[in-house]
C-alpha cells in the first residue's frame, strides 16, 4: 500500500516536495496510524501493560493498523521531522512529528506492517520503542533486537549501526533517567497528585540542574493530555506543565533555596523548546493564579529573538493575529519600542517560512501589525479605576490586620470557578449583542468558541447552552452571520465536545438532557463528536444515549454518520445501519447500499432491516439486488431480516420486488425468497402483486413456472383474507392449466 523510500534534500534533510500527492483517504489513515502509534508508545511507557490505558491504546493501534493495511502491507519511512508514505511526507501534524521523532530516536529508517499483527507483536513493538535508545544501540540496534523477538508481521529497518558508532561519541549524562522513578514521577504529575515521595523529590532536584531534562519532563507530562484522536489539549497541557514547574520551584526552594534563580533560568530556557501554542497558553495564566508568578518569571526571561519566534509560530499557524494573541504579546513585551523591534524580527522569520512567501501574507501583515502594536487596555480602564488598582495592595495590607467581615465566605464563593464562568458568559454575550462592526463581532465569536470549549471540558452545559444560543442568534443577524456559522462549526469539531461526549455514560439525567440541548443548538454536525462513542461493541449506557441523541437529528445526521459506514469493524457498521434505518429517508439508501456489500451476515441483516423500513423504489431495488447476489447464509439472513419485525411497512417493498422481477430469468430465486417473506408476513397488501405474478407464463420454462406459481399459491393461502381467497378462486377459474392444477392440488379453491 505504501513504501518508505524517499529522496532527501542534502541541505535540509527534509524530503523533496512536488513528487505527487497522497490521496485524502490514504493521508487520513496514515495520520491516524501515526497518532495511534505515538499515543500507544506514550501510554506503554507510563503504565503497566495490564493498565486500562495501555490496553485501550494497544487496541486503538491495532484498529489503525487494520485500517491502513487492509490485509496487505503498509510502510512508514522515517525522517527526523515527519513520516513518509510512498516516498511522500505526511502533512504537518504534532502527533505525526512525535511518532517520527520516536522512531528516528531508535535509529529506525522504516517500519512495515505486514497485514494485521497479533497483539503479542504490538506489545513487543511498544516495549522496543520504550526501551532507551542507548540500550538498543549497545544490543546491536532495534532491527537485531526485533529479529530476536521473532514477530514476522512487523519488519524494522535500521541505520547502519557500526558506522554510526564509529563516527560519533555517545554522551549520556542523564543515562537511565527513564527508570521506574521517572515514570512514577511523570504519572504522579499527570494524575494531579500534590504530594511526592522522597525518591521523586530527589529526582526533581536532579532534573532542575539540566535544561534538557526539564524540557523532557515538561514534554512527558504534557504528552498524555490529548484527545482520543491524538490532537493536543492545549489548555490542559499548559496547566500541567506549569504545575510541573511549580513542583520544581517548590522542591528547590525547600531543599536548595540558593539555587532558585538558577533553576528559574533553566525553566525559562526549557520553555523555549516547547510547542509555541502551549507556551502562549502558559503566558495567559492569570497573575493571581498559583502559577501566575512562574508564568510571569518565564515571560520576563524571554529575549527578543525568543518572543519573535513564538509570535512567528502563532501567526504562521493561525494566518492572522487575534485579540488574545495581542494580549499575550502585550504581557510579554509591554514596552512599545520593544514591540516594534520584536515585530521586525518576527516579519523576518515569517518571510523565511512558506506562510511568509504567499501572496496572502502581505495582505494580512498590516492588519496583524496594527492589532499587535495597537493593543492597549487603557481605553477600557478609567483613570480613577487605575488609581484604585494601584492602591489595592496597600489597602489589602491594611485590612489584613482587621477582623474579617462575616460576609467574607459569601464574597469568596462569588469568585469561585462556577460564578466566574457564568460572569464570563454574561459579559461576552452582552459584548456580542452590543457590537455593530462585523470585524469585531468575528473576534468575539472566536473568543466565544474558545470559552465554549472550556465550558464543555468543565461539564458546564447550562452556560454552554447560553453561549450557543447567542451564536445561533447571531447567525441569523446581519452583523457577522458567517463568523457565527463558522463558530458553530468549530464547536461541533471542538475537543471539549468530544471529551464531553465520551462521558455521556457518567452523566446524570439532568446533565444528559443539558448536553443533548447543547448538541441540538449546534445542529447535526454535533453527531461527529458522538462518533467515538458510537464505535462501542457493547451496549453501554453511553452508546445508548449517543444513539438516541443522533436519532433526534433525523435525515440531517446522515452525512455525519459516514465515518461509521467506512469503519472496518462489523459492530460499528451495524450501528451505522441501525441509525441510517431510523431516519426512514431515501437519502439513507446510498450509504446502506455500501453496507449491503459487507460480507458479515450481522451487518447485512441490519442493513436489510433498515432498507425495509424505507418506502422508496431505490430501497426496494437495493434489497432486490442483494437477494439476487446473496447465497447461503447471507441469503437466509436477508430473508429473516425482511420478516423479523413483522412490520407491515415492509410489504410495499416486497410488492415492488415481485413487480420488478423476472421469475423466469436471473431473478427466479429472488422471487421465491420474496414470496416466502410475503407468506410469513401474511399482509393483504401483497395480494395484487402475488396474483399478477402467478399468472405469468412462458413456453419451455415449465419447471420454473411450477416453482413460482406454487410459491404464489402458498403465499395467498398463508394470507388467508377474503381478497386472497377471491384471487385463488379466480385463478382456479381463469388461470392457465398449470396454475389451475396447482390450486386444486393445494385445495385452495372453494
Kindly report the number of other CB atoms within 10 A of residue 678's CB atom: 31
Q: Where are the alpha helices (DSSP H) in 197-303?
A: 198-207, 211-222, 234-255, 260-271, 276-283, 292-301
Q: What are the φ/ψ torsions at residue 307 (nearest 5 degrees)?
A: -60, -40
Does 547 score more than 80 pLDDT? yes
Whole-angstrom CA distances from 646 to 149, 512, 533, 633, 687 are 56, 33, 31, 21, 17
Whole-angstrom CA distances from 580 to 556, 557, 564, 589 are 11, 9, 10, 8
pLDDT at 381: 47
pLDDT in tens, 481-500: 788 888 888 888 887 788 88
pLDDT in tens, 661-678: 888 887 788 788 888 877
Does 104 score more than 80 pLDDT? yes
- The whole-angstrom separation of Cα 610 and Cα 644 is 12
Percent of the chain residues past pLDDT 90, beyond the cut: 1
- The whole-angstrom separation of Cα 728 and Cα 748 is 6
pLDDT at 9: 39
Asked whether the beta carbons of 469 and 520 are under 8 A apart, the reply is no
DSSP assignment letter at 403: P
Does 48 score more than 60 pLDDT? yes
Identify the band that residue 316 occupies on the pLDDT scale cut at 50, 70 and 90.
low
Which of these ranges, 133-147, 158-172, 423-437, 657-671, has the smallest mean pLDDT? 158-172
Asked whether the beta carbons of 327 and 375 are under 8 A apart, the reply is yes
Identify the band that residue 267 occupies on the pLDDT scale cut at 50, 70 and 90.
confident
Does 132 score more than 50 pLDDT? yes
Rg (CA), the chain: 33
pLDDT at 173: 44
- The whole-angstrom separation of Cα 357 and Cα 214 is 35
Judged on CB neighbours under 10 Å (0-12, 13-18, 19+), 484 is buried
Residue 662, by phi and psi: left (phi above 0), alpha (psi -120 to 50) or beta? beta
pLDDT in tens, 215-224: 888 888 888 8
- Report the pLDDT averaged over residues 636-659: 70
pLDDT at 696: 86
What's the full length of the chain, in residues?
750
pLDDT at 621: 79
pLDDT at 718: 85
Does 43 score more than 60 pLDDT? yes
pLDDT at 363: 52
Identify the band that residue 26 occupies on the pLDDT scale cut at 50, 70 and 90.
confident
- Report the pLDDT averaged over residues 66-94: 80
Return the axis-axis angle of helices 180-190 and 234-255, rounded to nearest 10°. Answer: 120
Residues forming a β-bridge with 112: 75, 155
Whole-angstrom CA distances from 422 to 416, 447, 453, 468, 511 are 10, 15, 14, 14, 17
pLDDT at 398: 52
pLDDT in tens, 155-212: 888 876 455 444 444 444 444 456 778 888 888 887 777 677 888 888 888 888 887 8
pLDDT at 168: 44
Does 325 score more than 50 pLDDT? yes
Asked whether the beta carbons of 710 and 743 are under 8 A apart, the reply is no
Q: Which residue has the cell 463528536?
A: 529
Geometric angle at alpha carbon 284, from 280 and 289, rounded to 5°:
135
C-alpha cell recorded at residue 362: 502581505
Q: 47-79: buried (b, 16+ CB within 10 Å) or exposed (e) per residue?
A: beeeeebbeebbebbbbbbbbbbeeebbbbbbb
pLDDT at 331: 63
Identify the band that residue 75 occupies on the pLDDT scale cut at 50, 70 and 90.
confident
- The whole-angstrom separation of Cα 496 and Cα 456 is 5
- The whole-angstrom separation of Cα 152 and Cα 294 is 50
Amino acid at each position: 500500500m505504501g513504501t518508505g523510500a524517499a529522496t532527501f534534500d542534502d541541505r535540509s534533510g527534509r524530503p523533496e516536495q512536488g513528487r505527487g500527492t497522497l490521496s485524502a483517504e490514504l493521508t487520513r489513515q496514515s495520520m491516524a496510524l501515526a497518532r495511534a502509534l505515538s499515543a500507544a508508545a506514550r501510554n506503554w511507557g507510563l503504565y503497566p501493560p495490564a493498565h486500562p490505558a495501555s490496553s485501550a491504546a494497544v487496541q486503538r493501534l491495532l484498529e489503525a493498523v487494520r485500517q491502513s493495511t487492509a490485509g496487505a502491507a503498509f510502510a512508514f519511512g522515517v525522517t527526523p521531522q515527519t513520516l513518509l508514505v510512498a516516498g511522500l511526507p505526511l502533512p504537518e501534524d504534532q502527533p505525526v512529528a512525535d511518532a517520527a521523532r520516536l522512531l528516528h530516536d531508535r535509529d529506525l529508517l522504516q517500519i512495515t506492517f505486514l497485514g494485521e499483527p497479533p497483539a503479542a507483536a504490538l506489545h513487543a513493538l511498544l516495549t522496543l520503542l520504550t526501551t532507551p535508545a542507548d540500550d538498543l544501540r549497545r544490543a546491536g540496534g532495534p532491527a537485531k533486537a526485533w529479529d530476536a523477538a521473532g514477530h514476522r508481521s512487523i519488519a524494522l529497518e535500521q541505520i547502519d549501526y557500526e558506522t554510526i558508532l564509529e563516527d560519533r561519541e555517545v554522551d549520556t549524562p542523564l543515562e537511565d533517567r527513564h527508570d521506574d522513578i521517572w515514570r512514577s514521577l511523570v504519572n504522579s504529575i499527570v494524575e494531579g497528585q500534590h504530594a511526592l515521595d522522597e525518591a521523586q523529590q530527589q529526582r526533581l532536584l536532579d532534573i532542575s540542574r539540566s535544561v534538557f531534562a526539564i524540557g523532557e519532563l515538561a514534554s512527558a507530562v504534557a504528552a498524555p493530555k490529548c484527545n482520543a484522536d491524538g490532537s493536543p489539549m492545549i489548555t490542559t497541557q499548559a496547566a500541567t506543565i506549569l504545575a510541573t514547574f511549580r513542583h520544581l520551584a517548590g522542591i528547590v526552594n525547600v531543599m536548595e533555596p540558593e539555587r532558585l534563580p538558577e533553576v528559574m533560568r533553566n525553566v525559562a530556557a526549557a520553555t523555549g523548546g516547547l510547542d509555541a501554542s502551549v507556551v502562549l497558553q502558559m503566558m495567559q495564566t492569570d497573575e493571581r493564579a498559583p502559577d501566575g508568578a512562574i508564568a510571569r518569571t518565564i515571560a520576563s526571561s524571554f529575549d527578543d529573538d525568543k518572543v519573535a519566534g513564538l509570535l512567528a509560530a502563532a501567526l504562521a499557524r493561525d494566518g492572522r493575529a487575534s485579540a488574545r494573541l495581542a494580549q499575550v504579546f502585550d504581557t510579554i513585551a509591554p514596552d512599545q519600542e520593544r514591540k516594534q523591534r520584536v515585530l521586525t524580527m518576527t516579519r523576518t522569520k515569517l518571510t523565511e517560512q512558506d506562510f511568509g512567501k504567499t501572496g496572502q501574507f502581505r495582505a494580512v501583515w498590516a492588519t496583524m501589525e496594527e492589532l499587535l502594536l495597537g493593543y492597549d487596555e487603557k481605553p477600557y480602564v478609567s483613570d480613577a479605576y487605575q488609581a484604585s488598582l494601584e492602591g489595592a495592595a496597600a489597602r489589602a495590607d491594611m485590612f489584613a490586620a482587621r477582623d474579617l467581615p462575616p460576609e467574607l465566605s459569601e464574597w469568596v464563593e462569588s469568585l469561585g470557578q462556577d460564578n466566574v464562568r457564568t460572569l464570563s458568559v454574561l459579559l461576552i454575550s452582552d459584548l456580542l449583542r452590543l457590537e455593530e462592526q462585523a470585524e469585531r463581532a468575528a473576534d468575539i465569536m472566536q473568543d466565544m468558541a474558545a470559552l465554549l470549549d472550556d465550558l464543555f471540558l468543565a461539564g458546564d452545559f447550562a452556560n454552554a447552552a447560553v453561549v450557543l444560543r447567542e451564536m445561533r442568534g447571531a447567525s441569523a443577524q446581519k452583523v457577522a452571520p458567517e463568523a457565527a456559522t463558522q463558530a458553530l462549526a468549530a464547536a461541533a469539531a471542538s475537543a471539549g465536545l468530544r471529551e464531553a461526549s465520551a462521558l455521556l455514560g457518567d452523566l446524570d439525567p439532568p446533565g444528559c438532557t443539558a448536553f443533548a440541548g447543547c448538541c441540538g443548538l449546534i445542529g447535526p454536525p454535533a453527531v461527529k463528536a458522538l462518533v467515538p462513542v458510537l464505535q462501542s461493541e457493547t451496549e453501554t449506557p453511553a452508546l445508548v444515549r449517543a444513539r438516541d441523541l443522533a436519532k433526534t437529528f433525523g435525515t440531517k445526521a446522515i452525512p455525519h454518520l459516514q465515518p461509521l459506514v467506512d469503519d472496518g469493524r462489523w459492530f460499528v457498521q451495524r450501528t451505522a445501519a441501525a441509525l441510517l434505518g431510523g431516519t426512514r429517508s431515501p437519502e439513507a439508501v446510498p450509504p446502506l447500499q455500501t453496507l449491503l456489500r459487507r460480507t458479515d451476515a450481522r451487518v447485512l441483516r441490519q442493513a436489510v432491516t433498515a432498507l425495509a423500513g424505507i418506502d422508496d423504489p431505490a430501497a426496494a431495488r437495493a434489497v432486490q439486488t442483494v437477494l439476487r447476489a446473496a447465497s447461503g447464509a447471507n441469503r437466509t439472513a436477508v430473508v429473516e431480516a425482511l420478516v423479523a419485525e413483522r412490520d407491515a411497512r415492509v410489504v410495499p417493498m416486497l410488492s415492488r420486488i415481485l413487480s420488478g422481477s423476472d421469475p423466469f430469468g436471473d431473478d427466479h430465486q429472488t422471487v421465491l425468497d420474496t414470496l416466502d417473506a410475503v407468506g410469513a408476513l401474511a399482509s393483504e397488501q401483497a395480494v395484487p402483486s402475488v396474483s399478477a405474478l402467478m399468472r405469468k407464463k412462458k413456453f419451455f420454462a415449465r419447471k420454473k413456472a411450477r416453482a413460482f406459481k406454487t410459491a404464489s399459491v402458498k403465499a395467498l393461502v398463508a394470507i388467508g383474507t377474503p381478497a386472497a381467497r377471491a384471487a385463488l378462486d379466480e385463478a382456479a377459474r381463469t388461470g392457465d392449466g398449470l396454475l389451475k392444477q396447482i390450486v386444486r392440488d393445494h385445495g385452495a379453491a372453494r
